[in-house]
Amino acid sequence: MEIRILGCYGNQLPGYKTTGFVINKAIALDAGSLTSSLELDEQLMLDAVLLTHSHIDHIKDLGFLGDNIIGRKRNPVSLFGGKKTLHAIADHYFNNSLWPDFTQIPTKENPVYVYREIENKKEFDLFGLTVLPVQVPHPVFTFSYFIRDHKSTVLHVSDTGETEEVWALADQEPHLKAIFLETSFPNEMKGLAQASKHLTPEMMGEELKKLKKRKNLVDVYIYHLKPLYIDKLKEELAKVEVEGFRIRLMEQDSVIRYV
């Protein structure tokens, strides 16, 4: 599995793009930085977008992507997400008011996008991978995703507050290689982190401790740092150590591979 990191921050400033990854060149995982990072030919290679939730830092580039690929792609791009996520996009974004309804143009029969609703804890196949969505706590409906090929599982936890179920399921993954985990606010802002269902460095460490001890060392890539607090967050994250995990910052414009 190859995962290209386009953007991995919790807000936008020059040099810091919001969440967007590309798996095996064809599957986007969230859409916060697709059109600001990918060349047009790379955008045209996307056949699916897995959406974690409807917050704008995770969906905003769907509009620009649609505009770039309309009339240039033979098949529609599938937008996978929970029912509430897809409804939020249909009602508030592709509603012919904020932006065109790309599920109806250029033709109803062969539009730019099709919505593909997925259900909590119902695994599905996606271009040679299997994907298991598991809901995590956040102010809007949010899915984490276990993404598996025959050899490796990568767990993208997405934006989350303190949680339990996803860790219980992670304990059952035999080939878990990596966890993408958020950390948004510095430790002193724990109150805001809890109110907005995000994590601080200390809270992130506590989440990892909920996992059982494993034989293999698991890579943990920290994402969704708010650029405004970047220095403080880096300093505090450097102090978090949890046995069994190799915790590091996710790097924008990097590629993560598990073979």
What residues line the site for Zn ion (CB under 5 A)?
55, 57, 159
What minimum distance in Å lies between the beta carbon of 35 and Zn ion?
17
Token digits for 171? 């304990």
Indicate the length of the chain as a whole number. 259
Amino acid (one-letter) located at 142: T
Between the two ends of the chain, the Cα-to-Cα distance in Å is 6
Residue 70 DSSP symbol? T
Query: What are the strands of the beta sheet with 27-29, ordered from one edge?
Result: 113-117, 77-81, 48-50, 27-29, 20-23, 2-7, 254-257
Cis ω for the linkage preceding 106 (within 30 of 0) = yes
Which residue, 76 or 186, has its beta carbon nearer to Zn ion?
Answer: 186
Residue 13 DSSP symbol? B
What minimum distance in Å lies between the beta carbon of 208 and Zn ion?
20
What minimum distance in Å lies between the beta carbon of 162 and Zn ion?
15
Amino acid (one-letter) located at 19: T
Which residue, 88 or 112, has its beta carbon nearer to Zn ion?
Answer: 88
Which residue, 55 or 148, has its beta carbon nearer to Zn ion?
Answer: 55
What minimum distance in Å lies between the beta carbon of 17 and Zn ion?
12
What minimum distance in Å lies between the beta carbon of 182 and Zn ion?
8
Which residue, 143 or 176, has its beta carbon nearer to Zn ion?
Answer: 143
Provide the CB-side half-sphere exposure for 14 (13 A, CA).
Answer: 0
Burial grade of 238 (CB within 10 A; 0-12, 13-18, 19 or more): exposed
Which residue, 61 or 159, has its beta carbon nearer to Zn ion?
Answer: 159
Which residue, 104 or 120, has its beta carbon nearer to Zn ion?
Answer: 120
What minimum distance in Å lies between the beta carbon of 72 and Zn ion?
29
The β-bridge relationship of strands 20-23 and 2-7 is: antiparallel
